[in-house]
């Protein structure tokens, strides 16, 4: 499989991210994968699989719309929007989050992925009391 094919598989995987598809991770990610996001660093395919499993356990659904992919040398950049619903956030209504992923390849599989997104927009601002405090702080920081 080529890097371009791996990238296409990754995009397809994230279009409907669900626990039943976690067996596809080994086709996409290198066994020594390092997945980094605002939550933390997750190293190794079993750890990444467990991380995905725990994230998906309480979500009603999660899907990504990847609007741009840029592949260069052994690297790639994805620009995406995530759509998800969690029963404890905003009454279970659909939430959206914009982000990007920087990817490195080794042996035509993804060996490193760093996801960039606003953790506050994803979670903290959705919690009733904490959300209002964060929104007030943001207003104060505006010029």
Report yes or no: 100 and 79 within 8 Å, Cβ to Cβ. yes
Residues facing 105 on adjacent strands: 110
CA distance 66 to 81: 6
**Which pLDDT score, from 0 to 100, does residue 41 have?**
97
Inside any domain, residue 125: no
Inside any domain, residue 131: no
What domain count does the chain have?
A: 1
- Tell me the residue range of the domain where 69 lies: 3-117
List, for residues 110-128, the tens digit of each pLDDT value. Answer: 999 999 998 665 555 556 6
Inside any domain, residue 18: yes
List, for residues 82-99, the tens digit of each pLDDT value. Answer: 999 988 877 888 989 999
CATH of the domain at 113: 3.10.450.50
Inside any domain, residue 139: no
Q: Residue 78 — very low, low, confident or very high, per pLDDT cuts 50/70/90?
A: very high
CA distance 62 to 86: 9
Inside any domain, residue 130: no
Inside any domain, residue 136: no
Inside any domain, residue 123: no
CA distance 88 to 101: 26
Locus of tokens 């995987």: 13
Inside any domain, residue 127: no
């Amino acid at each position: 499989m080529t890097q371009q094919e791996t990238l296409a598989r990754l995009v397809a995987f994230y279009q409907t991210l669900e626990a039943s598809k976690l067996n596809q991770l080994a086709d996409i990610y290198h066994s020594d994968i390092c997945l980094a996001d605002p939550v933390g660093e997750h190293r190794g395919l079993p750890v990444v699989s467990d991380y995905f499993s725990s994230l998906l356990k309480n979500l009603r659904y999660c899907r990504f719309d990847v609007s741009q992919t840029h592949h260069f040398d052994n690297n790639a950049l994805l620009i995406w929007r995530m759509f998800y619903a969690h029963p404890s956030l905003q009454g279970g209504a659909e939430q959206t989050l914009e982000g990007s992923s920087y990817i490195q390849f080794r042996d035509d599989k993804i060996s490193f992925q760093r996801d960039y997104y606003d953790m506050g927009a994803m979670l903290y601002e959705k919690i009733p009391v904490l959300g209002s405090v964060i929104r007030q702080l943001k207003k104060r920081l505006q010029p």
